[in-house]
A and B are shown apart, each in its own frame.
Chain A
Amino acid sequence: EDQVTQSPEALRLQEGESSSLNCSYTVSGLRGLFWYRQDPGKGPEFLFTLYSAGEEKEKERLKATLTKKESFLHITAPKPEDSATYLCAVDGGSGGYQKVTFGTGTKLQVIP
């Protein structure tokens, strides 16, 4: 069974204090790893897809990286508006069938 573990569960940062969120995964065949941002009471917002080890993607203050066992979401000089829960998910499906497993998320709070 595919598993996704995110750490830490919660992270509190001062504005401008860079840090990283971790997503460890176990999957028989990784077709894609996804990062989402979720604000309270809303649906997740897509951020990145990573497909193979060594791949990196950036968007504003966020940078996602991938190895064969884990992914990191690096946040550089965060701002209060970056406060949200960040979800990691993996697709372990095959053929035309997608099987996505989500982690429980890291709740990030950025303090002014």
Chain B
Amino acid sequence: GAVVSQHPSWVICKSGTSVKIECRSLDFQATTMFWYRQFPKQSLMLMATSNEGSKATYEQGVEKDKFLINHASLTLSTLTVTSAHPEDSSFYICSAQRTGVIGEQYFGPGTRLTVT
């Protein structure tokens, strides 16, 4: 149990376009999901906490108008990178937490975004 999927696994887009990344918890309900960025040889940087049915909580320095998060159901959260630029190229990883449980997070496989 505790499987999280992400789609797409990789995407290449042109500068100025928008990209949507989906995160799904496949076999459990997740009231809370998290979005991270990871640069090469660096650790995970939390971007935002996504709660089902409410607005996401963004970490300091993360532009909420650029990284739009929607958590419309207990199994799906989406991250949209708007007007992407080359500096947005990164590995984006989501994680999900079982509803009612504060503790370990279960991670998706990640999405490699390259903006040309």
Contacts and interface: CB of A to CB of B under 8 A. Distances in A.
Interface stretch (A11-19, A44-52, A65-73): A44-52
A98 B106 contact: no
Interface in B61-116: 91, 93, 95, 97, 102-110, 112
Contacts of A49: 103-104
B104 A43 contact: no
Q: Is the interface of B mostly helix, strand, loop or mixed?
A: strand
Interface residues of A, number: 21
Interface in A81-112: 87, 91, 93, 96, 98, 100, 102-105
Interface of A: 31-32, 34, 36, 41-46, 49, 87, 91, 93, 96, 98, 100, 102-105
25 contacts: A32-B103, A34-B105, A41-B112, A42-B109, A42-B110, A43-B4, A43-B6, A43-B93, A43-B108, A43-B109, A44-B44, A44-B93, A44-B95, A44-B107, A46-B106, A49-B104, A87-B43, A87-B44, A91-B103, A93-B102, A96-B102, A98-B32, A100-B46, A102-B44, A104-B43
